[in-house]
């Protein structure tokens, strides 16, 4: 049972345009969401996060939007650059016994930004 879903395995956009990566979740206990970027043969790198008490968080070219009622979040990259080409993972966390948080990851979306 996949609790975090990234339904688009891949996305291709033109340099300078907007990239929109989508993520849906089913567990209403999730209260914190993160996006990670991963290049081949490397570990994921944290990109941006959002708490469930907010609906938007912005950091430079990256903005994450959260729609709690729809259990949907999206990552917007504007403008897209060739160096943004990577796999993007959506992750969600819920308090899991005690004080620490486990992350549940989606399967990832491969973004290709064409020059």
Binding site for other proteins (CB under 8 A): 4, 9, 31-32, 34, 36, 41-46, 49, 51, 89, 93, 97-103, 105-108
3: enclosing H helix or E strand: none
Residue 85: closest CA among 4, 32, 5, 10? 10
CB of 100 to other proteins, least distance (A): 5
88 contact partners, CB below 8 Å, separation of at least 6: 6, 21, 35, 36, 37, 38, 47, 75, 108, 109, 111
C-beta of 35 vs 85, nearer to other proteins: 35
C-beta of 52 vs 74, nearer to other proteins: 52
CB of 70 to other proteins, least distance (A): 21
C-beta of 15 vs 62, nearer to other proteins: 62
CB of 47 to other proteins, least distance (A): 9
């Amino acid at each position: 049972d996949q609790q975090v879903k990234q339904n688009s395995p891949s996305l291709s956009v033109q340099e300078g345009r907007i990239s929109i990566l989508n993520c849906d979740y089913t567990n209403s206990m999730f209260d914190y969401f993160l996006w990670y970027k991963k290049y081949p043969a490397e570990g994921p790198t944290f990109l941006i996060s959002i708490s469930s008490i907010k609906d938007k968080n912005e950091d430079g070219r990256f903005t994450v939007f959260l729609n709690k009622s729809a259990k949907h979040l999206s990552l917007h990259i504007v403008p897209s650059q060739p160096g943004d080409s990577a796999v993007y993972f959506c992750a969600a966390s819920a308090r899991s016994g005690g004080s620490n948080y486990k992350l549940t990851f989606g399967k990832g979306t491969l973004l290709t930004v064409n020059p």
